[in-house]
Amino acid sequence: MTPATAAPIGFALLLPLLLAAQPVATDSYLSALPAIATELGSASTSLTMFVLTFGVAQIPVGSLADRIGRRPVLLGGLALYVVAALAGALAASAAMLAGVRAVQGAAMAAILVCSRAAVRDLYPAHEGMHVMARGLTGLGVVALIAPVLGAFVVQWAGWRWVLVLMAVYGAVLLAMCWHSFGETQAPQAAGQPAAQGGVREVFASRSFRVWSCLSASSYGGIFCFLLLSPMVYIGYLGLPPALYGWIPSFGSAIYIGSTTACRRLLYRWGPLRTVRLGALLSISGALIQALGAWHLPGSAWPLMLGHAFFSMGHGIHQPCGQAGAVGDLPRLAGRAVSWSGFMMMAVAFCVGQLASRFIDERHSHGAWPMVVPMLAAGSAIVLIAFVWLPRVLAHQQQLQHKPKEKTT
């Protein structure tokens, strides 16, 4: 199926479901971490391995999707996602669970890369941010439900059934894509060998670098919440798992509203003012959490309020950053998406690993291991939005006006 007959309306319905495979694999899993640690002796390694392979696998997957097309890579990734989830449900040790979750992370990489590359295949660059915002709104709806559902499944049926539900979701999505997702890459490009120097061309793009750093900084902060919040809220503050499940869902509800507002802000204000608003929200959320951890260390409310503000900023930065990183590179969309995604996961992995070292059984550092990385992420976002991004956009405008000056 060519781009002209790929039914963008059908893809617009599939996109949020494809993107939502990630929160299904992570957010629904959060409440299971304490139970997994009790039964198998280790829990956070399985989530870390998922994120690590999710990031690394995007690099070869992006090149593969540029060579052979989006459809076969996407269908293969969905099938592997299902198999890995079922294998995780049968895991007898922490090492086995970490291994199959690593495989599932690689499968998730194929799903995400092909989904984001298809956006660039089907839509012009100026529409990409709006399309991604719609897709991420749908992702937020699933992310809203996933942690609550996961918490109740863990409490009433056990953590293994969370992985079974992941497999069911992946299987349904595989069937839908098998029948509805056509090849979106142009036929003349799908069979050609990879362009020489493609990676160099990706990183030579100023637009790619700034937008990728924006999305990576925002995701790094939110990942530290995903990784460490169960230990902070359940272990340190003593909340029951079922009640904790509502906290990431609360953040997802805020995220949904923010991605919806992002579309309107982009039409009214343009990318720069929209991103700057998001930066102010991100740093405000991190500062609220820091003040709460300092003055009210035993209270969950400042942490929740700060997370709400940070989630608002995250809902602006992700559609802008993910679409902006690919906008100038339509010929190398697969590789641009893969390297952008790798940067997000690399930042999340490194920051998460560093922060998790300050979590101990006595929780002697309180909520600070979760709060400090989010504060660092908010600071980086402010620098990008107010210093780096304006220079890149001004440079792009100069390049656009140069041909007109020569012809006069």
The confidence band for 199, taking pLDDT boundaries of 50, 70 and 90, is: confident
Residue 251 and residue 144: Cα distance in Å, rounded? Answer: 8
- Cβ atoms 50, 102 nearer than 8 A: yes
pLDDT of residue 2: 42
- Cβ atoms 216, 318 nearer than 8 A: no
In 10 A of CB 228, how many CB atoms? 24
The string of pLDDT tens digits covering residues 238-248 is 998 778 878 88
Amino acid identity, position 81: Y
Residues 6+ apart with CB under 8 A from 325: 207, 208, 211, 212, 215, 336, 337, 340
Residue 151 and residue 158: Cα distance in Å, rounded? Answer: 9
The string of pLDDT tens digits covering residues 144-191 is 788 778 888 887 888 889 999 999 999 999 999 999 888 888 765 444
More confident residue, 143 or 408: 143
Q: What is the full DSSP assignment across 20-55? A: THHHHHHGGGGGGHHHHHHHHS--HHHHHHHHHHHH
| CATH assignment of 13-182+196-407, among 3.40.640.10, 3.30.200.20, 1.20.1250.20, 1.10.443.10 | 1.20.1250.20
pLDDT of residue 382: 98
The confidence band for 403, taking pLDDT boundaries of 50, 70 and 90, is: low
pLDDT of residue 297: 93
The string of pLDDT tens digits covering residues 357-383 is 888 877 889 999 999 999 999 999 999
- Cβ atoms 164, 85 nearer than 8 A: yes
- Cβ atoms 289, 302 nearer than 8 A: yes
The string of pLDDT tens digits covering residues 75-110 is 999 999 999 999 999 988 888 999 999 999 999 999
Domains of the chain by residue range = 13-182+196-407
For the chain, the C-alpha Rg in angstroms (whole number) is 21
In 10 A of CB 65, how many CB atoms? 29
- Cβ atoms 203, 321 nearer than 8 A: no
- Cβ atoms 166, 44 nearer than 8 A: no
* Mean pLDDT to the nearest integer, 37-64: 84
pTM above threshold 0.85: no
* Mean pLDDT to the nearest integer, 22-27: 86
pLDDT of residue 359: 82
pLDDT of residue 108: 95
pLDDT of residue 190: 46
Q: Which range among 183-197, 252-266, 346-360 shows the weakest confidence by mean pLDDT?
A: 183-197
Residue 193 and residue 292: Cα distance in Å, rounded? Answer: 54
